Structure formats: structure tokens, C-alpha cells
Structure 1
Amino acid sequence: NQDPYINVGAVLRVTPIKDVKTMISAFALAKNKEPRLKLWIMGSMEEAEDYAEECRAMVRDMDIKDVEFTGIIDVKEYIGRMDFLILTSISEGQPLSILEGFAARKPYIATNVGNCKGLIEGERDNYGPAGYVVPVMGVSEIARAILKLAEDEKTRKRMGQAGYQRAVKAYDESAVFGTYYNLYQKLTGSGEV
């Protein structure tokens, strides 16, 4: 049962700092060239309700097909169906969602904020890139990265594997990180960051 879509997942709270509007614009550009693309925006719509509604309205007004706002879901149930993941934040610290995506062997497109570049390109390992780093609010660059991953399954697999190795190493090397991560999971009762 072959999924007709190329599924792009965004695990995030729908808030201005995550710059979901840039993501939607870039997705719309890419979708014009590759109609099989589908965007899954997975996370809370409650935190910035006006912004979330603006994002929904944008999808409607621009008549962009195949954008799903799932609200809060169990990401683990969805992440396996994704071909790759995306984060277009204008600010991040250490984005756990990237490591979670890597743990599921998914490559990532992320803006060059916080430690995204280090996670995707690697800092002290030879695993190779696990996705593409794109400029903040760089709609056309983000669209190009989406199309690159959409059209090349071999690259997706290779980058997903690089991310997986990097995540395993990060979890292994950092007992502290693991402890925080487990505590975080307990406190939030979810995998959503």
C-alpha cells in the first residue's frame, strides 16, 4: 500500500516564534512544483490561538492543498509515516524535536538558529549531513530544500541514517541530556516540544 504523498512533518507548537507562516509559504511554492507533497503540522494550536487561526486562514486564502493541522497528537504514531521533517523557527535553543526526528531516522530541514546547524551538519562526527540548514524566513531556500528531499529518496535515507547515528551518539554521550529528556517527558506527558 504505497502512500501517494511525500509527507513532510512539522512537530511544533503553532506560535509566532516557530514562524509557521514562512513554512506554509515555502510549502506552497514547493507544492506547485511537486504536487505529491503533503504538510503535517503536528502540535498545539492553543498557545497562540490568533496566530494559529491566521495560519489556518492563510492555507484557506492561498488555497494550498494538503496541509493538515493535527492539533496535539501522539507524535510517535505519525512520525514513521513522514518522509522528512521541517522546523522554520526564528529562535531555538537545543531543539529536542530534531533529535526525536533523528531517532526515527528522518532527515530534517531547519533554520540556522540555536543548535540546529550543529545537529544537522554534525560537529564532531563524520556521519555527514542529516538534512539541510536554511536561512530564517528564507522562503525560496526552504522551498528548494523541500524539493531536494522530495525528489531524492536515496538522499533521504542516507541523511536519515546520519541523523539516527548522531542522535544515538548524543543520547549515549549525554547522560545528563537523557535524564533531562526523561524528566521532560514525565512533566509534559508528551513527546511534543
Structure 2
Amino acid sequence: MREKKLILVTGGARSGKSSFAERLAKEAQKPVTYIATCQPLDEEMAFRIQEHRKRRPKNWKTVEEPFNPTDIIAKEGKSDGVILLDCLALLVSNLLLREKDPNDPKSFSRVIEEIENLAITCRSVKGEVIVVTNEVGMGVVPEYPLGRTYRDLLGKANQIMALYSDSVYLLVCGIPVDVKHLNRVLEKGVYDLQ
């Protein structure tokens, strides 16, 4: 069986996504590069960033890159290590809000093109890549156009990343389920999940 090269970890808020992704990275027993896309734009986000930093092992290399993790992955992925990108949802938000008119369909297309390049790069590197994202399409329809644009854009970005991924883990109450594996099993008509 082929080694898992790209793993997508998704779920709702506080579902355990980041902790699970960090556990996968540790279990690989390889050098880890952690790419953080969060920007400390207010006190609460600065606090969250500090908490994430405390949780990570000291020997992990951390790169804070809110807009262009693709270049970091291309560079760091030349070795046989693990790259953990946390998170795609914030990256999509950063890219969308950088646009002059976020609600313009051309803005949507530009962000999607960047996500497709990211997914292709993740597949092409030597190392293993773990990408964390949020599932935002299961809740209430956002009241404002920008919120709906973001929800639609992240949904499309998640689909692209899932397409390129070997495994897609959905975290529910801290429990990971490999939905891509389940999908393959069901497509084959095999119902013995062992």
C-alpha cells in the first residue's frame, strides 16, 4: 500500500482537529515543520496563537505564513519530513480579505486557483503533508454576503484538498473518522470495515 502523502483533517469548531493533526505529525517520528496561517489581529487571537505554541514540541520548526504557504511547502517538502499546515480555513479567509472586492466572482476564482496550486504542491513534495481545515457548511446560512461567499469558497477549497488527499479525517467530538477510507470501502461494496 502506498504511503500516505497528503492528509486532510476537518471538523467543526473545537472538534479536536489541531490536536489530532499534531498527534499524527508526532507519530510519524520525522522532523516537523509547522506552518501557521493565523494572524494575531486582536488579543483573543494572540492568546490562541500562544496556546497553540505552548502545545507544540520545541524541536518543531514553526513558520508563520498567512498568505503563501505553497512556497514554504515546496521548500520544506524537499526532505522526508512532515509539514503541518494549520489551517486552510484561515488561509482562505486571509486570501479572500486581501482581495479588493471579496464578493467579486474573480476574487473567488483567484483564491480557488491558489488553493489548487497548494494542493498540487502538497502532492508533489517528498515529505508528508497534513492540512487542517474547518467544516463550515453544516451550520446556519450566514446573514451577510461576505459570510456566504466565505462559506462557499471554503467549501470548494475543502473539496479540492480532499480530492488530492490520501486520507480525509472528520473529527466529531474528538473522534477521528477517515471518511475517504469509508467512501472507498462503500464504493467497492465491501461492508466489513475491519
TM-score range, shorter chain: 0.3 to 0.5
Normalising by structure 1, we get a TM-score of: 0.41
Give the greater-gyration-radius structure (CA): 2
Normalising by structure 2, we get a TM-score of: 0.41
